[in-house]
Amino acid sequence: MQLAKLSSGAKYILLSSFVFALVNVGVKFLKHIPAYEIVFFRGLVTLVIGYILIRKEKLNPWGNNKKLLLLRGAAGTIALILYFYTLQNMPLASAVTIQYLSPMFTIIIAGLILKEYAKPIQWLFFAVSFAGVLMIKGFDIRVTITELVVGIISALFSGLAYNFIRKLKDYDHPLVVVFYFPLVTVPIVGIYSLFNWIVPNLLDWLILILVGLGTTIAQIYMTMAYQSDRAANISNFNYIGTIYAIAFGYFLFGELLNFYGLIGIAMIIFGVIMCSQWENIKTKRQLSS
């Protein structure tokens, strides 16, 4: 498909995925800087930009449902710290792909929080994706059990954060929801970083700033994508991030995945996409009934 024929939403999500891929590379280059410290700097940039946007829109930065906002911020903080840890310690493509389990956890957790239960066929797709995770672990000695568990927990907390975001749609503006992530992250992670500080060098500072700016830019493009087109039409474009990760991992870090590792990645993406598509079909049926 030619780029000119893509919808504006698809173009935005492709740009978002590419910028997120560059952010992942930046985090991996900062392997000597603890993940929590990178999260702190990333949150600091988002906090400043988020506050400027909130003041521009004349919104109340403290929000309405503070309990859910704080829970969303806490879940997102834990997920991001653990994700950055996997980026630094696992092959780039494996870390990125395991994080793609988050939509599946979103659906599972929705049954507990939103009473939106998964269908039996979706559990089959869950099993396919988790079989892919086991293939990555079983055939790649660079992935330890600890790193694999950390990656899965990161995806789990991402799914939890997405459910809090969904519940907040009836209470608070999206900008306020986004703002609460760094509002929770910066003070908590900042205090811990203060007592466990690793001094960045000049190049580290530059990469840290670019990671913060890149994340903000990617989130803006992602927001524009979902505002420009139906989620079902663009969500699958997110998974091009795995292709970026495989390419960057090989050319920048010398990470070559074996055949079974690639099969595992394909199984994860297949399971997640099929599960998400079934969720879209289920939603359409509910709206039409």
pLDDT tens profile 145-175: 999 999 999 999 988 988 888 888 889 888 8
What pLDDT does 111 receive? 79
Residue 256 confidence (pLDDT) above 80: yes
Contact 46, 216 (CB under 8 A): yes
d(C-alpha 232, C-alpha 156), whole Å: 22
Residue 1 confidence (pLDDT) above 50: no
Contact 93, 264 (CB under 8 A): no
What pLDDT does 285 receive? 66
Contact 140, 257 (CB under 8 A): yes
Listed ranges 102-106, 115-119, 257-261, 272-276; the one with the highest mean pLDDT: 257-261
Q: 10-14, 98-102, 217-221, 273-277: which range is least confident on average? A: 273-277
d(C-alpha 104, C-alpha 128), whole Å: 11
Name the average pLDDT for the chain: 86
Q: How many CA atoms lie less than 13 Å away from 116 in the CB half-sphere?
A: 16
Q: What is the dihedral of CA 127, 133, 134, 138, to 10 degrees?
A: 160
What pLDDT does 231 receive? 57
What pLDDT does 37 receive? 95
Residue 89 confidence (pLDDT) above 50: yes
Residue 5 confidence (pLDDT) above 70: no
Token code pair at residue 16: 């978002």
Whole-number percent of the chain with pLDDT over 90: 46
pLDDT tens for 208-255 read 999 999 988 888 888 777 667 665 566 667 778 888 999 999 999 999
Q: 52-66, 78-92, 116-130: which range is least confident on average? A: 116-130
Residues in Cβ contact with 17 at an 8 Å cutoff, skipping those fewer than 6 apart: 218, 237, 238, 240, 241, 244
Which has more pLDDT, 71 or 8? 71
Band the pLDDT of 38: cuts 50, 70, 90: very high
Contact 277, 107 (CB under 8 A): no
Q: 28-32, 137-141, 199-203: which range is least confident on average? A: 137-141
Contact 7, 228 (CB under 8 A): yes
Whole-Å CA distances, 163 to 54, 84, 160:
23, 21, 5
What pLDDT does 233 receive? 63
What pLDDT does 226 receive? 67
Q: 146-172 burial, b for 16+ CB within 10 Å, e for fewer?
A: ebbebbbbbbbbbbbbbbbbebbeeeb
Number of Cβ within a 10 Å radius of residue 227: 11
Residue type, 248: F
Smallest CA-to-CA distance from 40 within 221, 224, 183, 161 is with 183
Residues in Cβ contact with 4 at an 8 Å cutoff, skipping those fewer than 6 apart: none
